Amino acid sequence: MSTVSAGFRLVRAGWVLVREGVVAALPGEELSGLPKFGWRLARLFTRRRALTYERSDRLAKAVVRLGPSYVKLGQFLATRPDVVGNDMALDLAMLQDKMHTFPRAEAIMAIEASLGRKVGDLYAQFGDPVAAASIAQVHAAETIHDGAATKVAVKVIRPGVRRRFFQDLESYFLAAHLQEKYIPSSRRLRPVEVTQTLAQTTKIEMDLRLEAAALSELGENTKDDPGFRVPSVDWERTGRDVLTMEWVDGVKMNDIAGLAAAGHDLKTISANLIQSFLRHTLRDGFFHADMHPGNLFVEANGTIVAVDLGIAGRLGKKERRFLAEILYGFITRDYLRVAEVHFEAGYVPRQHNVAAFAQAIRAIGEPIHGQPAETISMAKLLTLLFEVTELFDMATRPELILLQKTMVVVEGVARTLDPAFNMWKTAEPVVSGWIAGNLGPRGMMVDARDGAKALLTLARQAPELAARTDRLSREIDLMAEHGLRFDETTARAIGKAEARYSRSGRLALWVIALTLVYIAWKII
């Protein structure tokens, strides 16, 4: 029955997308056969008013009708232009995570259930909501410390959002399985794997203890950084469904007039924003991955404060070196080195030619060097780079795509503050400083130290590895002699799973088909 209900929810979502004109806004003229017929049918059923809106506005209206879980789906797919295409990813990135507030009484119930204490014991004052998003909303409150009142922000999970999300998640998985089964060309995009990633990231985002931990980690990393910080966490008043943190007094970065009126130097703020982001990415390998201007405040002294750390990105040492050497290689026009880094990192398969790949890199870099520095977009450079690497069979790497998406947003904010913003001049001190410290003599010493630790760990595990190798050798000998065999229980389970999958797929298709026929009959 869960498959049937998932099918109905999937049909409803499709119907909303049709009625709001999202499907009609797709480039259907390029289609042929049945897909083109479906696109024309969708245009027929689109609301007349929706046809007057831009595609991004149609998408926003459809997502609001579908509910919070579709907002998160849209924001997630905005980080996957390899799946939805660059144009659609840009439209999805514009989705505003703003929802209606829920009653204060329900927030109080959620806090008390999560922390096991009365709100009156936790807060001296607990006010009405001041902002609401798809997963949670924020309340202004006060706590008492050493006899003095301290203003805090309290983030509370939206009631029922987990149940609603997991219900819709069944529909997402059904759509992904059907896509993989009936559209072979889409299998390279791994829709089921993409859906699993969405499920995992949203589970993390819906546990506010993990967001608190991310704020704490980023706070420790940036405690000595000039001009950037994150709010401190009140761990006593934080649980799975509630996060209490320092209240931030400042001007939102999307209020350009307010920043100017407060006397802030917009050029200094834009440079500080980019350098802070690159510092977190290269130095720490941990960055705020949702740095849109609504999540950034500027305090009276010019310090940038980043809030809402539900989405964070991580880069390993190899990925950080990859990013730094690529950016520095483009700055110095060393395209061969940029190509070599891709091969050394294992991103491009060895069967390809390094010189040919360097030629493709040059095709990106040379046009850029012919432009004024203030017009060169690092985000656009990374986008072009990933497009070229697809030609050389570079596999999709989610951590790099999340970095690319965040870079697009951060650079866009910087250029809003300073239209003549020089990305390369601003980034060069951070990038070259990281390269000098990590790829020079000091970096070699650190690598040698890490290598020695790895060898020591391997030496300690040598007896266990030898025993495993011996067992594996015996198993391979037995397999070669008798062949690979499943026990009866495993074979029976595989048969049942295959039969259940086939039945559920056929049933879902019948449900979708009958529902569409019913909708068409009601309209006609």
Q: Is 12 exposed, middle or buried (0-12, 13-18, 19+ CB in 10 A)?
A: middle
Can you tell me whether residue 134 is helix, strand or coil?
A: coil
Beta bridge partners of 138: 131, 155
Cβ atoms of residues 250 and 230 within 8 Å: no
Q: Could you give the CA distance from residue 120 to residue 143 in angstroms, rounded to a whole number?
A: 10
CB 274 within 8 A of CB 427: yes
Beta bridge partners of 319: none
* C-alpha closest to that of 283 among 229, 323, 312: 323
Query: In the numeric block, which tokens belong to residue 21?
Result: 């004109």
Taking the mean position of all CA atoms in its chain, how far away is CA 103?
29
Q: Out of 82, 241, 290, 308, pick the active-site residue.
A: 290
Alpha carbon distance 43, 30 (integer Å): 15
Write the Ramachandran bin of 299: left for phi over 0, alpha for psi from -120 to 50, otherwise beta.
beta
Cα gap 493→513, rounded to integer Å: 30
3-state SS of 319-338 is: HHHHHHHHHHHHHHCCHHHH
Strand partners for 144: 149
DSSP element (H, E) containing 142: strand 136-145
What's the burial of 141, exposed, middle or buried (CB within 10 Å: 0-12/13-18/19+)? buried
Asked whether the beta carbons of 368 and 330 are under 8 A apart, the reply is: yes
Beta strand 304-306 with 228-229 is parallel
Helices 398-417, 423-438: crossing angle, 10 deg rounding: 140
Place of tokens 């190509």: 339
Let me know if 290 is a catalytic residue: yes
Number of neighbours of residue 193 by Cβ within 10 angstroms: 13
Helix (H, G, I), strand (E, B) or coil at 347: coil
Find, among 41, 51, 53, 36, the residue nearest to 14 by Cα.
41
Start-end of H helices in 232-265: 256-261
Cite the active site residues. Answer: 290
